[in-house]
Amino acid sequence: MSRPVVGIIGNMNLINDEYPVHAGGVTNSSAIALVSGCMPLLIPADPRFVSVEELMAACDGFLLTGGRPNVHPEEYGEQPTEAHGAFDRCRDAITLPLVRACVERGQPFLGICRGFQEVNVAMGGTLYPEIRDLPGRMNHRMPPDGTLEEKFALRHAVRFTEGGVFHRLFGAAEVMTNTLHGQGIKVAGRRIVIEGRAPDGTPEALYVDGAPGFTLSVQWHPEWNATNDPVSRPLFEAFGAAVRAWADGSGAATRLRTA
């Protein structure tokens, strides 16, 4: 029996600083294949090559991955500054309308880090360019030194709304997560429900209110060690169940209840 297909949003990159590629982390593919039980398919997120309509026809669900470039601030009505960092306008052109189309249609997606921020912007929200510059906020960026294991180590708690969808999914009101982001949600978009926050108040977990499909998104990187991590595994398992439901025609039948 064939597995349902999850489109993994790729990022523009340069090999040896000169050869352009669309890239995706192996940990993303591993989490989708080994935990969600779906077939990972890397998407070249560029409107010159693919359209939202084609992607929705070819894939059963989508993983909105993390990425070094940030959503361009013009997408939420602000001017770019040095603090906003690098951008990927081609990815913006695909993922933002893709999120809105999936919300409308009920097609499942899981947002991670930049993907979490994309969901908020797609729904009309805004972002802070640099969380660590805000009074009372911690530094959420990736540690500059150390091994990958050290960079992706659990660094802070995330507290969830009591009785909310994330609380029920993880079976705990608080979990430990890694943190590797510079930007974060400033104003929540329309229908965005923030259910998880870091100790400094930074939003860390959300869903889209009233969406007929799976829209859970997190600011941390659950794809790291997803097969073994007690927080990552149920998230990717739930996403896989939603994708299979979409693929077999039952659609939102297995959608996590948000009420």
Indicate which residues carry an active-site annotation.
Answer: 113, 221, 223
Contact 73, 129 (CB under 8 A): yes
Find residue 174's DSSP bridge partners.
159
Contact 98, 52 (CB under 8 A): yes
φ, ψ (nearest 5 deg) of residue 114 = -55, -40
How many residues belong to the chain?
259
Find residue 11's DSSP bridge partners.
23
Q: What is the CA radius of gyration of the chain?
A: 17
Structure tokens at 155: 């660094």
φ, ψ (nearest 5 deg) of residue 23 = -125, 155
Rounded Cα distance between 91 and 12, Å, is: 8
Rounded Cα distance between 241 and 36, Å, is: 7
Contact 231, 191 (CB under 8 A): no
Q: Beta strands 174-177 and 203-208: pairing type?
A: unpaired
